[in-house]
Structures are given as structure tokens and as C-alpha cells.
Structure 1
Amino acid sequence: MNASTPDPLAQQFVAFAVEAGVLRFGEFKTKAGRLSPYFFNAGLFDDGAKLVKLAQFYAQRLLASGLDFDMIFGPAYKGITLAAAVAMELARLGHNKPFAYNRKEAKDHGEGGTLVGAPVKGRVLIIDDVISAGTSVRESIAMIQAAGATPCGVAIALDRQEKAAENGVDMDWSAVQYVTKHLHLPVASIAGLSDLLQYLRTASDPAVVAHAAAVQAYRDRYGV
């Protein structure tokens, strides 16, 4: 699908995120210290109906991606809910997959350890909301490999498609590109910044369209 052809799933997801108040416009400071004209907060998919719909988007993107995986791993904390929800939706569609997640603090009683859920084995898909610096992915890879399994890909909701920053210096690659090129894991994202821009330019609400110029300027400056 070329850049000029809208991706229907991505457009539906962006519209859903805007309507749910998860994708907001204004002026927001990012972790890299940049002033972004938009903010995506997956923690605001905070009721049953939103979570069910979010899981449907993940499942559709995963099934369309052709990624082959045996189980799902959700890094704490946002990934825990995402892994459970997506596993449920995949099962509903006839693709029952086990899932596991980690806890931040190791437990020294009961079953112990940091991993919870199904045994981590085979080809493991990591699921998260975004990839900001790749740190969470690297930590997940280490836990999966320590369990004797193989990380095989990452699924995220939104690819910001912007340059990563290290020690205040802009890199020539994005966090997602780092994961694909240096960690050698394919990344399936429901939507990206290019999809957001397409949505803003074609929205029926003039108040939404009004944000297109600021988002385009941000992409021109920081995009990859």
C-alpha cells in the first residue's frame, strides 16, 4: 500500500483513538524533550468497550501481517492488559494463543520469579502500546531469551515515525527502525504518524483538520 492510498484499518484506528480521547492535540512535551502537537496515551483505553475494540485492531493487524508466533508476551505495565485482551480476541477469531507477562519486582513466595502466565517458550510476540526508545523491547528480549524462548516480533498501536534521541541528540533512525534493524525483530503497528496525517487532512470536523499543519511541521522537523 503506497503512501497516497489510505490504509482502512489504520484510518479506523486513528478515528477511534481521537473519539476515545486517547489521541489528543495541543502542545505536549515528549520524553525526548520535544514539543509535540499530539499525544497518544494508551492508558486511556480505560473501559471494557474501548479495550475490546483496541484488541480487535491489534488482532486484525497481526493476522494481516503474517507474523508467525506461538505465544504473546506483555511487558509490565501497559503490555499486561494488552497481552490479555489481544489473546482473548485472537481466541475469539479461532487463533488461541497462550500469553505471559512480567512483574516489575521478583516474587519470593508462591510460584516466585518475575514471569506470570503461560510458560514462555517457542516464538514469542511482544505486545506494547508504542516503542519510545527500544528499552522495553530490549528488556523483554532478555527475559524471553532467559526463559529459553525466541522473540519473533513486536506489535504496537502507534508508530510515531520520528527520530530517536540519545542524550539530547537526534538520531537518523526511529525507535521502531532500531528494533527492526538492530534487534532484528519485525514490528507490526496498527497505525503510524503518516496515517494520522492522512486522517487529519480528510476529517469532516474542521476543528480536527486545523491540527494538520502543526502535525505536518512536526513531522518535517523530526520525522524519519
Structure 2
Amino acid sequence: MSDVDAAQAPACAMAQEFVRFAVEAGVLGFGEFKTKAGRMSPYFFNAGLFNDGATLGRLAQFYANALIASGIEFDMVFGPAYKGIPLAATLAVELARRGRNVPFAYNRKEAKDHGEGGTLVGAPLAGRVLIVDDVMSAGTAARESIKLIVKAGATPHAMVVALDRQEKATEDGRDVDYSAVQYVRRALGLEVCAIACLADLLLYLSETRGTDMLQHRERVLAYRQRYGVAEG
């Protein structure tokens, strides 16, 4: 095994463990699902199904492990409404459990006109902000979060997501030759860390015994061949 392979092995093992966890929790499902881009996908990742304390806590551990492995530095975490809110909160709790106490904040979809008012809740946005989300499809949440962070005088620095679908994004209803993650990296200048990606899902399906898994793999592979992008 080369030095590069040895360095990649722990990350690959973690990604496989996460995919297995997501499948067993029913969060990563197979069938026929319509995406925001209007495509019929053979798989779907629904982070809203991490809906009890045990699975949400385990998810936070995966986020923290991926961040530590990435080496990304940040000063606070931000969760875009709505799914990003519990993700940011539980990640902050997990990081504090490991000895790193960082502030977190999130936004409301609509501004509150009473009490403290505004759209932002939690710690004041400051320093290098890490945006926490589940799956990036079109990069819309990232762009909206960046606007809020910049307006508050902080620096949108990086994103962490659970799954990188590694598929073509859409612009004005047309497929483009880059993914939402690649757009955020190249055009918006943010570092992006993913716990797992589509390649990890295909590896899991390849190594898991059973006719059903083989059939799922063939459908996911065909989807990737049609909509997939080169890594990077």
C-alpha cells in the first residue's frame, strides 16, 4: 500500500461506516425519487429521518470526525433553516464533548417582528463560519447562508455536508458540467468537506451481498453515468 493509499484508508473506512449507518437508519433509501432538479433518482438521502437522540448523536460524531480529518479550521458553526438547524446544534454539542467549545447560530425562514426580531438566532456571526447542511443539490442554501454571513460582517469559510451526490448541478433548468459542491469550491471560494459521496455509496453496494443491493448498484451506476461529474 502506498503512502497516499494508507492516508486515504481511514477516510474510506469512515465513509463506508457512515453509508451503512444511513442505510440501516432508513435515511438512505432506494427506489424512485424525484429530485429538486426534476430527475428521477434511484436513491434518496433524507436527513430528517435522523429523528431520535441516538441516531442524531451518532450523526454528529460522523460530522466531527470528517471535519477533524479534513483539517478545516473555523471559529463557529451555522445551520441554514431548516434541516441545518439540528445539525449545527448537535455538531456544536459533539465538538464541546471533545473539548472544543464553539458558538453556533442559525436563521429563520421569515424575520421575527417581535422579541429580539430579525432572522438570525444564536451566537453573533463572527470570524470564520462553517456552514453545516445535509446534502447539497443546487447550492441554494449555501448562497443564501453566505449572504447572511457576509451581511453580519463575518467570513463564510467552509461547508460540511453528509453526502456529496457528485452529480451535475442545474442553472436555469439546464444541466451544467459541475456539481453544486464544485461550484461552492470554485466559484464561492469555500472549502467543502463531505462525510461520504456517491462513489462511497457505489462501493458499499458493490461489497454488500444480496440481489437487491446488486440491482440498486446497477441503477445508481446508470444514474451516475448519466448525471455524474468528475471528482474534484
TM-score, L = length of structure 1: 0.96
User: Quick check: 1:75–1:140 contact (8 Å CA) kept in 2?
Assistant: yes
The partner residue of 1:150 within 155, 160, 165 is 155
Identical aligned residues as a percent:
67
Structure 1 residues 88-147: Cα deviation after superposition (integer angstroms, max 9, x where no partner): 001111111100001111112221111110111011000000111111101100101111
The answer to whether residue 140 in structure 2 is matched with residue 129 in structure 1 is: no
For 2:87 and 2:16, how far apart are their aligned partners in 1? 20
| C-alpha separation in 1, matches of 2:26 and 2:183 | 29
SS at match of 2:110: strand
Partner SS, residue 68 of structure 1 = coil
Deviations 1:185-216 (A, max 9, x none): 01100000000000000013442233111111
Other-structure match for 1:11: 16
2:101 corresponds to:
96
User: CA separation in 1, counterparts of 2:66 and 2:189?
Assistant: 20
SS at match of 1:114: strand
- CA–CA distance in 1 between the matches of 2:215 and 2:177? 29
Extract unaligned runs of 5+ from structure 1.
Answer: none
For residues 169 and 76 of structure 1, the distance between their equivalents in structure 2, rounded to whole angstroms, comes to 26
Instruction: Classify the secondary structure of the residue corresponding to 2:85.
Output: helix
TM, length-normalised to structure 2: 0.93
Mapping for residues 3-42 of structure 1, pairs under 5 Å: 7-42=12-47
SS at match of 2:142: helix
* Aligned with residue 120 of structure 1, among 107, 121, 125: 125
Q: Is residue 201 from structure 1 mapped to residue 206 from structure 2 by the alignment?
A: yes
Q: Which residue does 2:223 correspond to in 1?
A: 218
Q: Is contact 1:58-1:190 (8 Å) kept?
A: yes
Are 1:73 and 2:78 an aligned pair? Answer: yes
Q: Which amino acid aligns with 2:131?
A: I
Deviation sequence 1:15-56 (CA, Å, 0-9, x none): 000000000111111111111110111111111111000000
Is the 8 Å Cα contact of residues 202 and 209 (structure 1) preserved in structure 2? no
Find the aligned partners of 2:21 and 2:213 in 1 and give their Cα distance.
13
* 2:203 paired with 1:190: no
CA RMSD of aligned residues (A): 1.4
Secondary structure at the residue paired with 1:103? Answer: strand
Return structure 1 stretches of 4+ with deviation > 4 angstroms.
none
Q: Mapping of 1:24-63 within 5 angstroms?
A: 24-63=29-68
Distance in 2 of aligned mates of 1:35 and 1:143: 32
- Sort the Cα spacing of 1:213 and 1:123 in 2 relative to 1 into closer, same or farther, 3 A: same
How far apart, CA to CA, are the structure 1 residues paired with 2:187 and 2:127?
21
